[in-house]
Amino acid sequence: MKISTGIDILDRELTGGIKQGSSVLIMATPGVEDLQFAHQSLFSYLINKGNATYMVNNKKPSIVREMLKGFDWDISRFEKQGSCVFMDSYSGLIKALPEAKGFVKDPTDIDQVSEAAYSLLNKTKTPALIVIDSLSSMIDVTNSEKEVIKFLKKFTSKAKESGITIIALFTQWPYSKSTIKGVEKVFDCIIRLKAVEQKVILRSYFSVEKASWLEKKEKHEIPYKILNPGGVKVFIPKILVTGPFNAGKTSFIHSASTKAISVDRLGTTVALDHGHVEFKGFAVDLFGTPGQERFDPMLDLLSGEAFGVIIIVDATKPKGFARAKEMLKRTRKDGLPAVIAVNKIDLEGALGLAEVSRMMSMPEDILLVPMRAENAANAKEGKPCKLKKEDVNNVLEKLLEKVI
């Protein structure tokens, strides 16, 4: 049996989710957002009628509850039903009142932590999920790395016997190599969260480093962002949308986006089109260029750091194909993934896909995808129009498949 993490792309990377009874380590570089990986999995598990225990040692349970609620993952009804319980291993540390039945009076004492954890484990109705938030805090607070690792080994194998799944958060502070190795060895699966930094964190990536139930796999580094609401999304910070004058770039960006802005004058774009798309677990920012040649310097500026290119051509204007190719060449540096959207196929005289493909003589790795107005009668001169949703989604999907 597999357990969904509630994060589509992560489930896919894990071939359907976490194997029930496994232990999963979410190992994060300090500063990257990691909590929602556990929170989203927890909520998804509860929604699917599982039992869960949340062991927390670095904030009060009430704070965890609030954080979850802030993401639209309200767990109060599960707590009322008894399917979600906390182990409060924090309040004792700051001499505050217990906030859960499972309470550790002195969290600096690993024996007390271990005793409370086993007591909860024995009471847990299976199948169940246990979240440990966090392992690094446990090491820091108890100041006994070896003891914590020993506890973990036993605890995870006991959980496995009962088919209980564990997700533990671990921030990789500069611990000794043996501590890191020791922690890593305990777990069946490691999901690593990393960042690209340049004074500030520019971009975060996750990858499945190992999972006992997976055959050897290619390692994918997946850029992500935590959205609120929404949780963990694959984040594509830049997809370039370009193509000849009047081909339908602005129409595409507006039809695809939940939010979009354009700077148009007399029906043509004179600055940038920008849109934000949320689609199938992806969050994508689209950048459109003006079609007129006098704006070409913008193309070079914009194509830096793009993850992919969508070239839009007008199927009724073969004269524009050469220009489209030139724009493709200009933007598609280093074999950046690209898709050609063949637009306006609803219009009379539109060329077929095969014909366009032949006339453009595109390399094989560049897919051509048809696109049309939702309602041709509404496609007025000098005004972007709404494009057919299936076509727009198809274009996005074909490109995103290549990006990740």
Ligand X SMILES: Nc1nc2c(ncn2[C@@H]2O[C@H](COP(=O)(O)OP(=O)(O)OP(=O)(O)O)[C@@H](O)[C@H]2O)c(=O)[nH]1
Query: Could you tell me the smallest distance in angstroms from the CB atom of residue 345 to ligand X?
Result: 7
Nearest CB to Mg ion, comparing residues 96 and 301:
301
Can you list the positions of beta strands (E) in 280-382?
282-288, 308-314, 338-343, 367-370
Nearest CB to ligand X, comparing residues 129 and 385:
385
Q: Which amino acid is at 281?
A: G
Residue 306 phi/psi, 5-degree rounding, is -75, 150
Q: d(Cα 39, Cα 6) in Å, to the nearest integer?
A: 9
Positive or negative CA dihedral for 80, 18, 166, 7?
negative
Stretch that binds Mg ion, among 79-87, 189-197, 250-258, 357-365 (CB under 5 A): 250-258
Query: Could you tell me the smallest distance in angstroms from the CB atom of residue 361 to ligand X?
Result: 23
As given in the structure block, the two tokens for residue 376 are 């041709």
Does 171 contact ligand X by CB under 6 A? Answer: no
Alpha helices in 124-241 (DSSP H): 135-142, 145-161, 177-186
Site for Mg ion in 252-281 (CB under 5 A): 269
Does 370 contact ligand X by CB under 6 A? Answer: no
Angle at 224 between CA 78 and CA 309, to 5 degrees: 135
Query: Could you tell me the smallest distance in angstroms from the CB atom of residue 286 to Mg ion?
Result: 12
Query: Could you tell me the smallest distance in angstroms from the CB atom of residue 300 to Mg ion?
Result: 18
As given in the structure block, the two tokens for residue 234 are 């694959």
Residue 174 phi/psi, 5-degree rounding, is -70, 70
Nearest CB to Mg ion, comparing residues 6 and 290:
290
Site for ligand X in 248-277 (CB under 6 A): 248-251, 268-269
Interface with ligand X (CB under 6 A), residue from 25, 42, 191, 247? 247
Q: Point out the residue whose Cβ comes nearest to Mg ion.
A: 269
Does 317 contact ligand X by CB under 6 A? Answer: no
- The residues pairing with 26 across neighbouring beta strands, listed in sequence order, are 169, 191
User: What is the total count of residues that contact ligand X (CB under 6 A)?
Assistant: 27
Does 302 contact ligand X by CB under 6 A? Answer: no
Contact 170, 183 (CB under 8 A): yes
Does 250 contact Mg ion by CB under 5 A? Answer: yes
Query: Could you tell me the smallest distance in angstroms from the CB atom of residue 250 to Mg ion?
Result: 3
Residue 11 CB partners (closer than 8 Å, separation 6+) = 2, 4, 5, 17
What does 283 bind: Mg ion, ligand X, none (CB cut-off 5 to 8 Å by kind)?
none
Does 347 contact ligand X by CB under 6 A? Answer: yes
In Å, how far from its chain's centre is CA 236?
9
Query: Could you tell me the smallest distance in angstroms from the CB atom of residue 253 to ligand X?
Result: 8
Q: d(Cα 189, Cα 137) in Å, to the nearest integer?
A: 20
Site for Mg ion in 202-241 (CB under 5 A): none
Whole-angstrom distance between the N-terminal and C-terminal Cα of the chain? 26
Residues that bind ligand X (CB under 6 A): 245-251, 268-269, 290-291, 343-344, 346-347, 371-373, 376, 379-385, 387
Residues that bind Mg ion (CB under 5 A): 249-250, 269
